[in-house]
Structure 1
């Protein structure tokens, strides 16, 4: 490589400045790359030029825009290790490499010429760096007209490379910002859609008080809940409109592994299956069975959903409960102020296609009794020390809130959990359903 003089002839300087203006006029990466390879080829009086962008995460150089390469064909993208060949050595050394005779240089991969029918003679390879030393890529120019590249060519190429690196960095940052903004819009839309699936009111069942709540740790959560009022007509359950009197309720709480967009889609799907099963008159056991089989087919490996389905019947004052991995379920018996922890009956949905448990016998709810279902986002809420909120604190709150409404009990649990964790952001979604049989039916 010739010793640089750091001064460009006036004609070359004007041409470099003209290229810089063209680069500054576009924010689209493909257009910028096209301007760069055309400028490198034309100003250096060469046959072809290529820009290899640097993928830092993969430590690779890749190109989708080059003379002789179809830019419209995604499969034409060429990727090489950032240490391979002449381009790789340029990326490592951050220095211009001038090869007057490609076939006399052991670093040159002759197989590329054999596969394309092209004959490479001379090569000029230039690192693309920005201020601070970050590598953006490598430019490579092939076959100067009339002989090998000289020191003046290196000066021009270096000046072009400085402008090219800045333009590529700017376009990348803009693309990243636009992509983030689009992702944020998509996530916000998903959040609104998920929130719209949550009930806006609770079933109106004489003698009962029901409360439900869900708060995601991210914009979209991996928890879901549903509260559906119904009336019985013989053996059929007829869904009633929100705020209309009901004689019973189907309740659902689900918690998918993880939180975010993927789990949110999974639990929303499960909630939709529950609603469909209720509307066509399918029993709790059958709903759970079909839901589990479908989730086994749909969920990625290693993913599952814990879920609880409850069927409250005002006429018999019973709660039919089915839990797939959702535990503990708490039954507060007002008569003796005892809290019974009800275990899950089977494993979570989405693991094995065959459920290994039946619906438990209906649970009798006496006046003042409460049934509390909380996702693990409450129990596992932690202080900076790692200490978790735990079950015992919930037990104490339930006993201390005896005589309060379901909504008041829920508010007390939420407030105590927030006070316990302090300013730390919740690490998991928090969802709850509380059912209370009133001690005084007229209340």
Structure 2
């Protein structure tokens, strides 16, 4: 089957959405970091100047990716993954500490965050593994190996950046799409529910409710399906997990992690301390009303009331200056991009490119969901940037690579029938 030209088969909808999000992101970074004295948009001493440089660097990067043969990424996926793991391991020796986290390599005035690039590397490695015709996720052997690919980089990232490590868990959704038994997801959701419930209520009450539910499920099942041993094991595991939450919360979590959960759950209200960011974020977004105060007219933004507004809290600038309508438009763009990638993934001819497409969609979704939920006070502050919007060269370049590798796969359909 003869290859068609890449240019004629590029999905321009994905490319256009990417460009629009990058441009809108830069405008919000510009607004959130504009100094009192007017300077050039290319002023590298300013945050928006550095971001403009990264945007310009993305252009030749895109050209290079689209020029490479589509099968290159599959052939060298293992090499790319190993290189990513080595870069993460190197942080323990050569990493530079910035704001309490040693997750950067420093090169003069610029820094590189390898965890961002490890995301597309892990997506490639997982796609390569699942693309093997012999892999069957209904078997424990393949389940553990696939989960190992996902959590190997997590083990290297957690000590430096728990927020970035959270992103990799989204790839479990891809495994579910490829045949992972549903009980994995249900177990995860139940564990999260038990964890939050155990922080809000006394553990004994949670255990009694669990006993009631297990008993009801046991007697509602058909006699032939009843298993007293399995039901007892489930109850014991739930009870043990519930009673362990307080110990883990008090002895494993760091103080700032405990504070963020307490603020989220309404157990503590410290508007001048740990709750300051979330409170100012809500004020900024709420003050925008329906249509916003206008570009460069946000009083909360101009006053610098929202910390880290150009990075993790960039969405507050959208809410204040563009209002509810503008925020809804940005959300629409992200959802459209994710759904478009899912649509393209389903029409791929090989399992490798299909799985990679789902990985791209999953990573974009978890970033988008966690970041917007975080600035609205619906999720603890975990330092997850908004793709193409938040300031950061590593993030922008990594998302560019992540997305355009799939654009290349989709355009260059050299897949075997």
TM-score by length of 1: 0.20
Whose relative contact order is higher, 1 or 2, with alpha carbons under 8 Å and at least 6 apart? 2
Q: Larger Cα Rg: Structure 1 or Structure 2?
A: 1
TM-score by length of 2: 0.21
